[in-house]
Structure 1
Amino acid sequence: MPDANEKLAELNRRIERPRLLEEASAIVGFDLGARPEVGVAANAVGIRSRAYSYSRRVDSLTVFARDAAYGIDGRAGAWTGAARPLEAACRRIARAAGVPPREIAAIDILTDLGQSARRDASEDLSEPTVLQRVAVARRVVDGVPVWSSFCSVALTREGELGEVELHWPQITAVALREAQHLGELSGRWKPDPPEGAVVEEVDAGIIHSPAIGFMMDIVPVIRVIYGPRDGEHGRKAVDYLDRHGSSVAMPRDIDGMPAKSYERSSPPTSTAS
């Protein structure tokens, strides 16, 4: 006989099923057929068939969708053509999911390249070839960049939808107001760089928890990007600061493990003979 938790999970699945089918069709255009599998776990719900999968978080505007045949090595392949179809698909899906068009600051086209090499004395490398191209939308809310938000869209070789990952949580008016205040500060203040570095950029925006996780922290920050003083190339250091110039804790993705308490046994007592 199923326990109470399993009964509740089954009720969740029955309620979510028509919603997920409708969303998968309306947002990404997937038809999951007559007998898809529905799953519920933690803060996510999803539905899948042999061909397609669609899932979302229940605590933020976060969507994942995939055609199982998509991919560089997949049967449906990956898009390597012009940027315009990718941009159009990215805007269309973001709008269907509920993203306000005015919040899309720009759409970047990322290109994956590949090369082959011969394992002989010549060490010849082939010319780089395009493996796939992906569109990624960046976010701005009332002039404030939200660096953690994105909408990533990939197409198959024939231009059908291949994969979507959209993470666009709600930004409260309180968080936006603090970010705007930090923007005023960042225009008038320059932090002291660490030894051997120079300040290259100071701006304000919002960061938040990642797409996969159990938490949703929204954190207004001043972002400081440092470059090497000697001009050498390398990864640039980045600090995220609050209105007092102190480093902020990065947004959480999962709950920390609760601390366990243990009773320490008393040391054995010795008896004199």
Structure 2
Amino acid sequence: MSQKDAVKRKGPALEEADDIPSPMKRKEFESELRKLQVKLVRLQTWVKATGARVIVIFEGRDTAGKGGVISRITQRVSPRVFRHIALPAPTEREKSQLYIQRYMAHFPAAGEIVLFDRSWYNRAGVERVMGFCSKDEYERFMRLVPSIEREIVDNGIILLKYFLDVSQDEQRRRFADRIDDPVKHWKLSPMDTESVRLWWDYTVAYQDMLRGTDTPVSPWYIVPSDDKRRARLNLIAHMLSKIPYEKVKVDLPRVPKAEPKPKRVEEGLPANNVVPAQY
């Protein structure tokens, strides 16, 4: 019996159940994330020991979860090694520079991993859709970016590009959640919510972007992101698999025995103001 026939026998309800896995429990997610974060620490040690340079680009529609996965990556590692870069709109001075110049200022030195929360691909996405660049500027970018990325890779930098893909219904749900949750209000802007209305314009822009810049030297990796927890785990696991790091032996220090208290030294600190214990 073919797989297609088997699906027919199961019926629509069972077919839908097979296609959509049950939600991942928080405890399971945290357990799997912990394992990956141990590997991220090992990656960090290897990067510092070898002087490797890594750039990871996170692109995707608004609400796709770029910031969320970056926060899980950086949660247990050093900000001196893993640098999270989320640039604001360009200044007038930056607008007069070469387009990619303000991004290159944040490129990694030896022993650094740079995580771009949006990147030079803004030109192919929001700038194109919202009319922030001219047609000539867009076409020049699309023509030049594959050769620029080849130079980045040929220079010895590991370059990974992820596009987090969220469905239209899920994007609307997440925007509604941000509106209802006060701690997420900072994530809202008219520019972001406008992307709901312009869903299909962005679809065309991203399709063109991926067709024109998915190269053997610098490929794109699509991350289905309607399921946030699985998306985060899948992306981190894939990122680790694409960087040829090795476990580096670490000489851990021992905790020394404390010296005895001198007779003239009192216990505690002479503070006049102590934070009240409200909790």
Q: What range is the shorter-chain TM-score in?
A: under 0.3
Structure (1/2) with the larger strand percentage: 1
Q: State the TM-score, normalizing by the size of structure 1.
A: 0.22
Q: Relative contact order (C-alpha < 8 Å, sep 6+): which is higher?
A: 2
Structure (1/2) with the larger helix percentage: 2
